[in-house]
Structure 1
Amino acid sequence: MAKGVISAIDQAEQLKQDGNSYFKKNRLGAAIDAYTEAITLCPNIPVYWTNRALCHRKRNDWARVEQDCLKAIQLDYKSVKGHYMFGLALLRKEKYAQGIKELQRALDLGRGAHPNSYMVEEIWQELATAKYGEWDRDSTKRNWDLRNLEESCQIALKEKHLCDASITEDDRNEITSSTSEQLAALKLVFSKAAEDDTPTEVPDYLCCKITLDIFRDPVITPSGLTYERAIILNHLDKVGKFDPTTRETLLPSQLIPNLAIKDAVEAFLEKHGWAYKTE
């Protein structure tokens, strides 16, 4: 019995390797078949499900991506790829709130397990794009509602007194002048109301000095300077063990997460609805 179980696991692993090989050659149908056979043999291994989901993703078959990722998450709630691709599938259905929640979960899990991996950066970019999409959709509706309300207020204000035929011409001129002032004030009020739906530039202190892009995972050096973790680690590994700005000796072990800047970035992006769209 034990030998049979071991044999099934070994066979499933070989099928996974075959699937990986097919995937790299873009033979998606063959890869899906291989992963499906592996799942049939060992249905409780989440990576088989996420690997097959990745194939479905490349085929833009989002319904199957969602199904496979849900199963992977049921088997392992800490599956980064499971939450990530499930989130992407939800976004394709324009379920922004749920999709963003899944991407955020994937990002948190990814940062905890592999903070410097390419996938963390990819998830962050997708999350930014998703939040921008949600903001764009919601802000468009809000702007439309505001314009309609402003027009209604303008019409009501203009008609408030001028519809009275008994008033004199002098009174009418005075009312017209007063109405113009009120219309200008009204325009200012609605302009102020629309400010939060206007994209804004990111403050310099929230951007890495090397990439000039907004921080994802900021770390601070002993000299008090803050850099993007992946970028400064790459500098220390390939250029030299020194601070690129001060030229002082710097080791990876001296880097400390800059939680204040990280919180400031999150606050900025939340306030502006992630209206800053990353490149």
Structure 2
Amino acid sequence: MSATDLRNQGNTLYAARKYEAAIVCYTKAIVKNPNTALYFTNRALCHLKLRQWDKALQDCQRALDIDRSWVKGHFFMGQAFVEQAMYDEAITSLKRAHDLAKEQKLNFGDDITSALRVAKKQRWNMIEEKRIQQEIALQTYLNRLIKEDKERQIEDLKNQEGMATCEEVENICENMDKRLIEVNSLFSQLDDRRKRVGHFDPVTRTDLTQEQLISNFSLKEVIDAYLEENPWAEDY
């Protein structure tokens, strides 16, 4: 069988979701013609379906070594990077795939742009999760410092006067409890502010209705540019 025949057989098996068998066919096609990028991305797609991310990346890289402008090589590589939580690399690959598809006038529908949105959102979620964990750690640290300060002040008071009065101890406790409430309130306000997102014009602060929204390619370009600089907005 020729390399083309083997590739066609692999496509039939892939359509039947027999990915491992399809890989065998694509591998045989590669042996017969190792300089065809298409065969490597065919096999890479099977690896993606089997969640074999490293193998998918290897095949995508081999395809791109043959043809740097091979859109599917960048596209599938981006998908594999997303699955490995390598979001910066994924975004770079998917942007390249998107640009090449436009240059070559290839129609991938919304597949590449959708994958790019997912990568950006996942990267934002990862950054946001890390930031939240840092906030929690800081809040915990400040709470501990306040409690330790309260205990130290009470101990100092006892050492200075021999016997601290109940009123003096209560004053220290009240002041420290007030500090705790203030600190925790600040963190709570930060959390509430993140969640408070309304449908309003950011300039006039007036409500927007669906009828006011205009379909416009220039507006879309502005929005795309905004999302590029503010990936957090993908969530809203």
TM superposition score category, shorter chain reference = 0.7 to 0.9
Q: In structure 1, what is the equivalent of residue 38 of structure 2? A: 47
Q: Say yes or no: does 1:119 pair with 2:111.
A: yes
5+ residue gaps, structure 2, are 203-207
Q: In structure 2, what is the equivalent of residue 35 of structure 1? A: 26
Secondary structure class of the residue paired with 1:44: coil
Query: Residues of 2 paired with 1:158 and 1:204: CA distance?
Result: 45
Q: In structure 2, what is the equivalent of residue 225 of structure 1? A: 214
Q: CA contact under 8 A between 1:146 and 1:190: conserved in structure 2?
A: no
Q: In structure 2, what is the equivalent of residue 239 of structure 1? A: none
Normalized per residue, the structure richer in helix is 2
121-130 or 16-25: bigger deviation? 121-130
Q: Say yes or no: does 1:130 pair with 2:96.
A: no
Equivalences for residues 127-206 of structure 1 within 5 A = 127-135=119-127, 137-139=129-131, 141-163=133-155, 164-165=157-158, 166=161, 167-191=164-188, 198=194, 201=197
Q: In structure 1, what is the equivalent of residue 205 of structure 2? A: none
- Alignment partner for residue 220 of structure 2, among 254, 258, 261? 258
Secondary structure class of the residue paired with 1:85: helix
Report the residue type matching 2:32 in the other structure.
L
Quote the offset at 1:136 in angstroms.
Answer: 5.5
Quote the offset at 1:155 in angstroms.
Answer: 1.6
Quote the offset at 1:52 in angstroms.
Answer: 0.7
Query: Residues of 2 paired with 1:50 and 1:202: CA distance?
Result: 44
Q: Say yes or no: does 1:58 pair with 2:20.
A: no
5+ residue gaps, structure 1, are 1-7, 211-222, 228-254
Query: Residues of 1 paired with 2:30 and 2:196: CA distance?
Result: 48
Q: CA contact under 8 A between 1:69 and 1:83: conserved in structure 2?
A: yes
Query: Residues of 1 paired with 2:93 and 2:61: CA distance?
Result: 11
Report the residue type matching 1:51 in the other structure.
N
Q: Given the superposition, is the C-alpha separation of residues 174 and 266 from structure 1 closer, same or farther in structure 2, using an over 3 Å criterion? A: same
Q: TM-score, normalised by structure 2?
A: 0.72
Query: Residues of 1 paired with 2:141 and 2:97: CA distance?
Result: 40
Query: Residues of 2 paired with 1:172 and 1:94: CA distance?
Result: 52
Q: TM-score, normalised by structure 1?
A: 0.63
Secondary structure class of the residue paired with 2:34: coil
Quote the offset at 1:58 in angstroms.
Answer: 1.4
Quote the offset at 1:117 in angstroms.
Answer: 1.0
Query: Residues of 2 paired with 1:200 and 1:158: CA distance?
Result: 35
Number of residue-to-residue matches in the alignment: 224
Secondary structure class of the residue paired with 2:73: helix
Q: In structure 2, what is the equivalent of residue 81 of structure 1? A: 72
Secondary structure class of the residue paired with 2:146: helix
Q: CA contact under 8 A between 2:26 and 2:40: conserved in structure 1?
A: yes
Query: Residues of 2 paired with 1:59 and 1:116: CA distance?
Result: 22
Q: Given the superposition, is the C-alpha separation of residues 193 and 78 from structure 1 closer, same or farther in structure 2, using an over 3 Å criterion? A: farther
After superposition, the C-alpha distances for 1:55-113 in whole angstroms (9 at most, x for unaligned) are 12112222211210111122233333222322333344443443344344434444554
Query: Residues of 1 paired with 2:201 and 2:38: CA distance?
Result: 40
Identical-residue share of aligned pairs (%): 23
Query: Residues of 1 paired with 2:64 and 2:171: CA distance?
Result: 70
Q: Over aligned residue pairs, what C-alpha RMSD do you find? A: 3.7
After superposition, the C-alpha distances for 1:21-55 in whole angstroms (9 at most, x for unaligned) are 22212232342222222222322221111111111
